[in-house]
Every structure is written in C-alpha cells, then in structure tokens.
Structure 1
C-alpha cells in the first residue's frame, strides 16, 4: 500500500508540465475563489457518498443486516483511494471483496456484490461517456470523439458482456495463464489456479441464481440510477469551478465534458488519469485540435481545469485514504466476524 502513497506525487508531474507550458501561476488557480473550490469538493463528496450508499444498499439486499450501513458507506468511499492511485478504471472492487470476506461473507457472495456494484458503475459511466463521444463527433472533434467512444465502448461492452454471460457460461482461468502459473510457480501455481477456478465457478453459479430474479433486476436498476446520479455530481463539480473563473457552462454540458474526460482518463497510461483528464476537458469543451493547445479568449482555460483537479482528486484522496485505513483495512476482532 505504501507504493500507492509514493505514487501520488507522480500524479503532480502532468500538472506541473501544464502549469509551466501555459504559464499558470498559483495565483491564477487561487483566483477561482474559496467558495467554488468548496462547492466542487462538496459535489465530489456527494458523488462518493452516493457510491457508498449504493454499495451499502446492494450489500444489505444480499446479506441482510450484515454490517452498519454507515460503515459500509465509509468502506466503499475509502476503496476509491485504490482507483485514485491506479492507472485503470478498476481497482476498488478488490477492497470491498476483502472487507466483506473479512467480516464473514463467503468469497463468492462478496465477489457477486462487488461485481454488481462495479458493473452498474461502469454501465452508467459508459452510457454518459458514449453520449459525450457522440456529441463530440457531431461537433466535429473527430479525434477526441474517437478516443472517447473507443475507450467507453470497449470498457462498457467488456464488463456488460462478461456480466450477463456469467449467468450462462462458467468462466475459468484461460489455459495460457494456467500453463504459465503451473510452469513458473509449480505446486503453488497449481493450487492457486484450482482455487481461482472454484471461486469463478461459484460466482457464475450465483449469477445464474440471481440475474433472472425480479429482486436482482430491481437491485440492478436502482443501483444503476444511483450511479447515474453520482456521476452527474462529478460533472457538476466542474461547472461550479468553471463559474469561479467566469466561464459559464450548464450542468448537462459540464457532465458531458467531464464524462468525456473521464473516458480518456481511463486509458491505462497515467496514475489516476493525471494529465489525461485535464486534456480531455480542454479538448472536449474547446473543440480543439488535440495536438494544438492554443486556447482562444472567452472559453475555459487551464487554471479552471487545474482547480477542478485539485478539488476532485487531491482533496478527496486524503479523505478516501483515511477511510480506507480506518475501516476497510483495520483489524476486525473475531467476535465481530460472522
């Protein structure tokens, strides 16, 4: 976990490059004003809390009165620290699986809850990002639209296909990976593959048992709506910051800009999408040639984007880290596990 803390300063490198390249001074960012910063932070925290409420809702539906509702919310919010410090869209689900299993839930059921959580998250983000990509395409930003659509369609399709196919097909570790594990890890590799295959079979069995039930369909629908709401607040956070610089953007356009940027930031290139998300917003809103960053007057500038990044990444990362350590990674007395 320590390497993730060390990785955080690395995310500042693209910010410094942008600041130097476009002569962004600290006073330019501070000129946005304290209230827009606070407003953006609040919007971002609402996004995270909605994710936590959704996770607690799913967990309670499948496990009953399993744990404190507020603690489940806190664990899910804390798990976002992994996403913030990982160069991919995924990551947080492993924390919640670990926590649920540590509290006494069976591995397969813990995985099923995490999968339901992440799939609805990806589905909502994917649909919003695809909308953003289509709008960019219609606006003539062909390169930006291509990157957004390619990333969104691939990630969303992969998750959704795997999710729904799991109810009809039992997935196992691919033979190539199995052979490599057995060859290099010998007996330990063989045992790890066997355990993984058993776990995957149990998850697929749960998928067959649950996906076709009306209760699970209801849980999926409500969770999806929670995800749409949480991503919307993520977009609104930029609208609030932009207002502090005098740039007027409505809520819908702000959500589309941020979700387009989010799709670009999901490329497995930089930690937490640092640099990519900032580029995505500028390119999307200003309809720029992605290889020429001259920004005309009267449109959103880099200071607003850097301010948004600070409010929605560097402040929440401290909060999510504290919750991760305090709740998800804390030791649980045997008397509390079940």
Structure 2
C-alpha cells in the first residue's frame, strides 16, 4: 500500500507541466473562488456517497443486515482510493471482496456482490461516455470521438459480455496463463491455479443462480440508476468550478465533457488518468479540437480544469484514504 502513497505525487507532474506550459499562476486558481471550489468538493462527495450507498444496498439485499449500512457505505467510498492510485479505474472491487471475506462472507458471494457493483458502475459510465463520443463525432471532432468511443465501447462491452456470459458458461484461467504459472510457480503455481479456477467456477455458479431471478434484475436496475446519478454528479462538479471563472456551461454539456474526459483518462497510461482527463476536457470543449490547446476568451480556462482536478481528485483522495484505513483495512471480527 505504501507504493500508492508514493504514486500520488507522481500524478502532480502533468499538472505542473500544464501550469508551466500555459503560465497558470496561483492567483489564477484562487480566482475560482472558495465557494465554487468547496461546492465542487461537496458535489464530488455526493458522487462518492451514492457509490457507497449503492454498494451497501447490493450487499444488504444479498446478505441481509449483517453489517452497518453506514459502515458498508464508508468501506466502498474508501475503496475508491485504490482506483485513484492505479493506471485505469480498477482495484476497488478487491478491497470490498477482502472486507466482506474478512467479515465471514463466502469468497464467491463476496465476489458476486463486488461484480454486481462494478458492472453497473462501468455500464453507466460507458453509456454516458459513448453519448459524449457520439456528440463529439456529430460535431466533427473525429480524433476525440474515436478515442472516447474506442475506449468506452471496448471496456463496456468486455465487462457486460463477461458478466452475462458468466450465467451461461464457466470461466477458467486461460491455458496460456495456466501453463506459464505452473512452469514458473511449480507446486505453488499449480495450487494457485486450482484455487483460482475453483473460485471462478463458484462465481459463475452464483451468476447462474442469481442473474435471471426477478430480485437480481431489480437490484441490477436500481444499482444502474444509482450509478447514472453518481456519474452525473461527477460531471456537474466541473460546471460548479467553471462558474467561479465566469465560464457558463450547462449541466448536460458539463456531464458530457467530463465523461468524455473520463473515458480518455481510463487509458492505462498515467496514474488516476492524471493529465489525460485535463486535456480531455479541454479537447472536448475547445471547439472539439484535440490539438488546439491555446484557449480563447470564450472557452473554459486551464485554471478551471486544474481547479476541478484538485477538487475532485486530490481532496477526495485524502478522504478515501482515511476511510480505507479506518474501515476496510482495520481489524475485523467475523460476525
């Protein structure tokens, strides 16, 4: 976990490059104003709170009242720290699986709950990003649209296909990976493969037992709506920041710009999408031209983009870290 703390300062490098390249001073950031900045933080925390509530809802629907609703919400919010500190938005599901297993939940059931949570998250984000890509395409921003659509369609399709196929077939570790693991890991590698295959078989069994039931369909639908709402608040956070600099943008356009940037930020290039998300917003809003980063008077300023990044990444990363350590990684007694 310590390497993640070291990785956080690395995410500042693209910010410094942008600030130096476009002569962004501290006064430019302060010009945003305290109220828009605090407002954006509050909106971002609402986004994270909705994610936490969704996870608590899914968990208690499948497991009953085995744990505090507020604690489950906090654990899910804390798990976002892992996503903030990885190249690509992955890893949060590992935290919740770990937490549920430590509480005595069967690993397969814990994995199923985590998968239901992450799939609805990816599906909602994917749909919004695809909408943003289509709008960019219709406006002639072919490069921006191509990147957004390629990333969104691939990631969304992969998750959804794997999710629904899990109810029809049993997945196992691919033979190539199995052979390599056994060759280099010897006996330990063989045991790891066997354990992984057993776990995947149990998860697929749970998928067959639950996915087609009316209750699970209801849980999926409600969770998906929660995810749409949470991602919408993420988009609105930029609108709040932009208001501080006098840049007027509608909530819909703000959501589309942020979700398009979010898709670009999902490229596994930088930690937490640092730099990619910022350039993605400007590319989307600056006449939808990915190569015209010199911003005119009528276009959102770089200070708004950097201020948005601080409010929706660096402040929440502290909060999620505290919740992760306090709740998810603390000593847990099995109920």
Asked if Structure 1 and Structure 2 have the same fold, meaning a TM-score greater than 0.5 normalized by the shorter chain, the answer is yes
1:161-180 alignment, distance < 5 Å = 161-180=161-180
Give 1:287 deviation, angstroms.
2.6
Q: CA RMSD in A?
A: 0.6
Q: Deviations over 1:144-194 (max 9, x none)?
A: 000000000000000000000000010000000000100001000000000
Once residues 292 and 122 of structure 1 are traced to their aligned partners in structure 2, the CA distance between those partners, rounded to angstroms, is 30
- The match for 2:334 is 337
CA deviation string 1:276-295 (max 9, x = no partner): 00000000011343233121
Aligned to 2:93: 93
Residues 1:112 and 2:112 aligned together: yes
Counterparts of 2:245 and 2:283 in 1: how far apart (Å)?
A: 18
Q: Distance in 2 between matches of 1:279 and 1:52?
A: 29
Whole-Å separation in 2 of the counterparts to 1:30 and 1:298: 20
Give the Cα separation in 1 of the matches to 2:251 and 2:323: 30
1:230: which partner in 2?
230
The Cα offsets for residues 13-35 of structure 1, whole Å up to 9 and x where unpaired, read as: 00000000000001101110000
Q: Which residue of 2 aligns with 1:251?
A: 251
Q: How far off is 1:298 after superposition?
A: 1.3
**Secondary structure, counterpart of 1:147 in structure 2:** helix
Distance 1:204 1:287 in 2: 46
Measure, in 1, the Cα distance between the counterparts of 2:67 and 2:52.
13
| Distance in 2 (alpha carbons) for counterparts of 1:44 and 1:260 | 17
The match for 1:290 is 290
Shift, 1:197, TM fit = 0.1
Q: Which runs of 5+ in 2 are unaligned?
A: none
Q: Distance in 1 between matches of 2:139 and 2:87?
A: 29
Structure 1: distance between partners of 2:296 and 2:32: 19
The residue aligned with 1:69 is 69
Equivalent residues in 2 for 1:144-223, closer than 5 Å? 144-223=144-223
Rounded Cα–Cα distance in structure 1 between residues aligned with 2:251 and 2:324:
31
CA distance in 2, matches of 1:294, 1:203: 50
Aligned 8 A contact 2:136 2:142 in 1:
yes
Deviation (angstroms), 1:302: 0.5
Aligned match of 1:7: 7
In 2, the alpha carbon distance for the partners of 1:17 and 1:288 equals 22
SS state of the match for residue 177, structure 1? helix
Distance 2:238 2:51 in 1: 19
Contact 2:173 2:193 in 1 (8 A): yes
2:43 and 2:237 in contact (8 A); partners too = yes
By how many angstroms is 1:116 displaced? Answer: 0.1
Cα distance in structure 1, aligned partners of 2:192 and 2:276: 36
Q: Secondary structure at the match of 2:42?
A: helix
Output the CA distance in 2 between the equivalents of 1:49 and 1:169: 35
Deviation at 1:296, TM superposition (A): 1.4
C-alpha contact (below 8 Å) 2:119/2:160 kept by paired residues: yes
Asked whether the equivalents of residues 136 and 288 of structure 2 are also in contact (C-alpha less than 8 Å), the reply is: no
Partner of 1:309: 309
d(CA) in 2 for partners of 1:56, 1:95: 14
**Structure 1: distance between partners of 2:287 and 2:181:** 47
Cα deviation per residue 1:284-328 (whole Å; 9 max; x = unaligned)?
Answer: 011343233121111101100000000000000000000000000
CA–CA separation in structure 2 for the residues paired with 1:8 and 1:145? 29
Which stretches of structure 1, 4 residues or more, deviate above 6 A after TM superposition? none
- Equivalences, count: 335
1:269 partnered with 2:269: yes
Kept in 1: contact 2:284–2:290 (CA 8 A): no
User: Which aligned pairs between 1:317-332 and structure 2 lie closer than 5 A?
Assistant: 317-332=317-332
- SS of equivalent residue, structure 2 residue 226: helix
Give the Cα–Cα distance (whole angstroms) in 1 for the partners of residues 298 and 127 of structure 2: 30
